[in-house]
Every structure is written in C-alpha cells, then in structure tokens.
Amino acid sequence: MSSASEKPAPIHPQLQSPFFAVPTEIRDAIYRYLIPEHIHLFILSGSVQATECIQRDNDDDPDCLARGASKDDSVSSTDHGASLLSYYRHLCSPWATHWRCDEVVWKPYHGRIAGHGPFPSVLLATCRRLIHECWRYMADHVIVHMNEMDMVEAFVSAASSVDTGAETWLTSNWLGFMMWSTKELHIDLRLPFEDFEGLEKTHDQSDTTSKVFDPWLQLPSVLCRAVNLQRLRIWLDHDGKGSWSLVNERAMLAPITRLNEISNLDIEVNLPKLHPKFESTERHFTNGNPEPAFPLHRRFRQRYHIGNQGDWCMGASHEPDFPLLYELAGPEKGKYECGDMTMEELEICERSIWREGKHPYDEKPDDMRRRIEQLRLQLEQIDHPV
C-alpha cells in the first residue's frame, strides 16, 4: 500500500564530496561531456537499456549508399562477404535510418564510437544525489528515441506505475522519470507490413483482434500526462518492398491526430511520399484534402531491399517507390537532356504519367522533354503572370 510515509529518505547532500562542492554550471559541463545529446531506449533481456545515438547525416540516404558493402578490390573475399552480410543487415534493420545505432546495440561488444564512450550507465549506479542530477540534466538536454513497438509498450506501461505527483526522488524507476521529465521524444518505427494490414482491419471493422498496436493507440492518454514533454517527432515506414501507399496512414495517425487535439505538444510527422497509382483520399493525407493540423513531411523511401530477413542469398534488389525516375533529377542525369531537371519537376511529370494510366519507364524521351517544357512554361506563368 502506497503512502507518504513510504517515501525514501531525503537525498543526502554529499557535502563532503569535492565534486558537489563545485558550481552547478561546472558539473553540467561535465555531464555534457559524459552524456550524449540523443539516446535510444530499447528492451534487452527483458529490461530497458539506453545507448548513445550515433546516426550520421547520410544514414537516411534513400539509395542506402552509407550502408553499402565495400567494393575495394584489395578487400579479401572473406572480408567482402562479411561486409556484404552487414550491408544486408543494415537494409532490413528495424531501426530504419538508425541502422548504425542498431548495429552497435546488437554487437557482442561495445567499443568507443566516433570519439564518444558507450552510454554511461555507471553514472546511474552511484549515489542518489548524482543519479538525481544526471536525471535532471538528461530531462533538460537529452532527446529520447524509441525505435521498436515493445519499447513503446514499456513506455506506456511505465505510465501506470509512476505517480504523476511524485517528486524527482524516483530513483527506482528511471524510465518513469524520463517519461515525466523529457522535453523531446522521437518515435521512429519500421514495422512489418502485415502489422499495418492488421491495424487497418481493426480500424475499419471495429475489431479488437490486433494487439500489436495497443501501445500505439494508448499514446494520447499517456503523453498528455507527461507535463514536461514539449516536442514529439514521429517517423513511420513498413519493412516491405511494396509502396508505402498500401498503408492506411490515416488509421495509423489517428492516435496522433487525437493527441494533437487534446494537447499543446509541438508535433511533427515524417512519412514516405505517396504513389499516385495507389493514393486515396480516404486512406492518405493527399494534397487538396483535409490535412492534419500538425506538420507532415514527405521523404523519399528506401530504394534497396532484401528478400526475407536472414535469407541473405537473395541479395539486395532495387525496389523504388515513387518517384521511379528519382535518379534522373539533377545535372547531367538521365536520357532526356532537359537540362538541370529538378526533383520537383520530375515528380510533377511522373505524377501526370501515372494519372494518364501509363508507366514512367515506357515514356519516350521526346514525350518526357515535352512534358518538362510544358511544365516549366506553366510554372513561369504562375511566377510571372501577365
């Protein structure tokens, strides 16, 4: 039975420690050196773990160049094979663009990465005052990432075990403390396509058979109680070769839409671009139709995939989503000789091809050139009306 008398004793000030004798600003500078700006929370052996985020600028390249196997002829066949397996593993990482972080987490060892040591869990196993200060610093300065649904489930479960009126002496539940104290949360989920299909059936038929997304559906009620949370960033994709447009994104984002309506959170969502052949106003957020009240950013989807996870012999294949003609944009690219065709021009032209019931790969160079010339004339008239 919980009562005020069961609270732990007050935190000892540790005044005899030289470390706590220095000003708070200096201690914060030390924490800044030891604690990374971004951390991932994940489940390992049934418990919540944390690791530093080591994502680099080009790790989200849709052509997956940063994930590639070495093509250096001096590399031995054995090393090249290991590199190729690593490449395949990166392509199917459930952590998506954080595949580099995923690789470090599941390696049998944790070395120093990019000049930074592993996440300093040892700091959270010292005296209670230091733990308290580390949590306070992390709440103010650290961005928390979650990349798997089981971590979201643990996050939601923590809501039922933490008293929102509790003080910051919650040293026995650091996940609970981070939930109530963090200011920015990123949820990046790359889930099996079959799970999205199950969610759509649940959404359409008011069925309760699909339990995979239960934690996701509970997020609004949980995050509304996280009074310190200011920013929420959502990144979504499925792990299949098919177009993202096969997913009912309106059903998937229904909880986030509801959260936006009942909270003051700064919410942003990042989704793959829609394919003109499959997009639907009922299932997707399309141009010219009611859009979510929060910013929704569209990106180019990963363009290389493998077969089944673990079935490395199948190799990687080029399976682009919209736009298929992605590689033709930019200077000196493509066979259409249209000058520096911008990505915006290419997308508009390819969209018109799909809407005419044609396939972009069947478009003749002369026809493509005419499309682009007409498009540029139309854009010029918009920019400089008579």
Tell me, yes or no, whether 316 and 339 share the same domain: no
The residue from 280, 301, 321 where one domain ends is: 321
pLDDT tens digits along 192-233? 988 888 776 655 555 554 677 888 988 888 888 887 889 999
Neighbour tally for 251: CB within 10 Å: 17
pLDDT tens digits along 106-160? 765 443 333 334 455 666 667 777 877 887 888 888 899 999 998 888 888 876 6
Neighbour tally for 320: CB within 10 Å: 19
Tell me, yes or no, whether 268 and 317 share the same domain: yes
374 versus 102: the higher-pLDDT residue is: 102
Q: β-strands 266-272, 296-299: how paired?
A: parallel
Beta partners for residue 231, in sequence order = 184, 266
Tell me, yes or no, whether 297 and 371 share the same domain: no
pLDDT of residue 296: 92
| Number of domains present in the structure of the chain | 2
* Residue 223 domain boundaries: 12-321
The residue from 321, 339, 354 where one domain ends is: 321
Tell me, yes or no, whether 166 and 95 share the same domain: yes
How many angstroms separate the Cα of 380 from the Cα of each of 123, 147, 288, 309, 330? 60, 44, 22, 48, 19
Tell me, yes or no, whether 224 and 339 share the same domain: no
Tell me, yes or no, whether 108 and 215 share the same domain: yes
Tell me, yes or no, whether 77 and 92 share the same domain: yes
Tell me, yes or no, whether 242 and 341 share the same domain: no
The residue from 287, 321, 355 where one domain ends is: 321
pLDDT tens digits along 51-67? 888 888 888 887 777 66
Whether this prediction's pTM lies above 0.85 is answered by no
Mean pLDDT of 251-262: 89
Amino acid at 151: M
**Dihedral over Cα of 175, 176, 177, 181: its sign:** positive
For residue 13, give both structure tokens.
């000030």
End-to-end CA distance of the chain: 78
Q: Is residue 7 part of a domain?
A: no
Tell me, yes or no, whether 247 and 361 share the same domain: no
Q: Is residue 4 part of a domain?
A: no
Q: Is residue 366 part of a domain?
A: yes
Q: Is residue 1 part of a domain?
A: no
Tell me, yes or no, whether 351 and 268 share the same domain: no
pLDDT of residue 344: 79
Tell me, yes or no, whether 236 and 366 share the same domain: no
Amino acid at 357: G
Q: Is residue 302 part of a domain?
A: yes
Whether pLDDT at 253 is above 80: yes
Q: Is residue 5 part of a domain?
A: no
